[in-house]
Structures are given as structure tokens and as C-alpha cells.
């Protein structure tokens, strides 16, 4: 089955700085790569996703890049704000089998 690795496990940045989280996956047949944000006590919420036929996608301060050859994808958050503090999960999906990375706890210090 799919194995998703995520780094770093914790990330602390100053407000206004950029944050980068990286993931690798094992199953070359995976074709959908979402990123979820989970605040304490809340459900995971989709923040951005990318499909295997696209190399990069951007939505305001958030961008995702995908390298299918190397089987890795990254989340980039620019101009971070305190409300970006949360746990971020990457995931990889083949058909409807979605597996999550271990998560990154992002702290944005004001």
C-alpha cells in the first residue's frame, strides 16, 4: 500500500516568514495529493490539492508543487500569520484510497 512520509514534524516561523513542508510517497499510481489543515479539536480541512497532471498550483498565500518523477510534493505558505498555526497533513490517493503523512505542527510566532 501507499506510504507517505512528511517532514518536518514541527516547524516554527516568525510572522511574515515563509513555511515549507515536504512529503514523499511510494506508490507511483497515486494521482491526487491534497493538503489538510487541522486545528486543535477540529476536523481536517482541505486547503489545497494537486493532481498528477499538474506540476504546481497556487491559491493566494498557499502553493503546492509536485515532482512525479521523484515522487515528492511540497506545501509553501508565504507571509505566514498567527492563524496559520495548526497541524498540516499531506496525503496521497489512488482511486479512493487516501493515506496521510504523519503531520507537521506549524507555529507562527507574532
Partner 1 sequence: DTEVTQTPKHLVMGMTNKKSLKCEQHMGHRAMYWYKQKAKKPPELMFVYSYEKLSINESVPSRFSPECPNSSLLNLHLHALQPEDSALYLCASSQLNDRVPGELFFGEGSRLTVL
Residues binding partner 1 (CB under 8 A): 31-32, 34, 42-46, 49, 51, 89, 93-103
**Residue closer to partner 1 (CB basis): 42 or 58:** 42
**Distance in Å, CB of 94 to partner 1, minimum:** 7
E strand or H helix at 36, and its extent? strand 32-38
- What is the C-alpha to C-alpha distance for residues 9 and 64, in angstroms, rounded to an integer? 18
**Distance in Å, CB of 43 to partner 1, minimum:** 4
**Residue closer to partner 1 (CB basis): 60 or 96:** 96
**Distance in Å, CB of 33 to partner 1, minimum:** 9
**Residue closer to partner 1 (CB basis): 75 or 103:** 103
**Residue closer to partner 1 (CB basis): 31 or 107:** 31
Task: Give the C-alpha distances (Å, rounded to integers) separating 103 from 55, 92, 100.
Answer: 22, 13, 8
Q: Which residues pair with 48 in a beta bridge?
A: 35
**Distance in Å, CB of 19 to partner 1, minimum:** 18
Cell of 35: 493538503
Report residue 51 CA to chain centroid gap. Answer: 13
> Count of CB atoms within 10 A of residue 52's CB?
16
Amino acid at each position: 500500500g501507499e506510504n507517505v512520509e512528511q517532514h518536518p514534524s514541527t516547524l516554527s516561523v516568525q510572522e511574515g516568514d515563509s513555511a515549507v513542508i515536504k512529503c514523499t510517497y511510494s506508490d507511483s499510481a497515486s494521482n491526487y495529493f491534497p493538503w489538510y489543515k487541522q486545528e486543535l479539536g477540529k476536523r481536517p480541512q482541505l486547503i489545497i490539492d494537486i493532481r498528477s497532471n499538474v506540476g504546481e498550483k497556487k491559491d493566494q498565500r498557499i502553493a503546492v508543487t509536485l515532482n512525479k518523477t521523484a515522487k515528492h510534493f511540497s506545501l509553501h505558505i508565504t507571509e505566514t500569520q498567527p492563524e496559520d498555526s495548526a497541524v498540516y497533513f499531506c496525503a496521497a490517493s489512488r482511486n479512493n484510497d487516501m493515506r496521510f503523512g504523519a503531520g507537521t505542527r506549524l507555529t507562527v510566532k507574532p
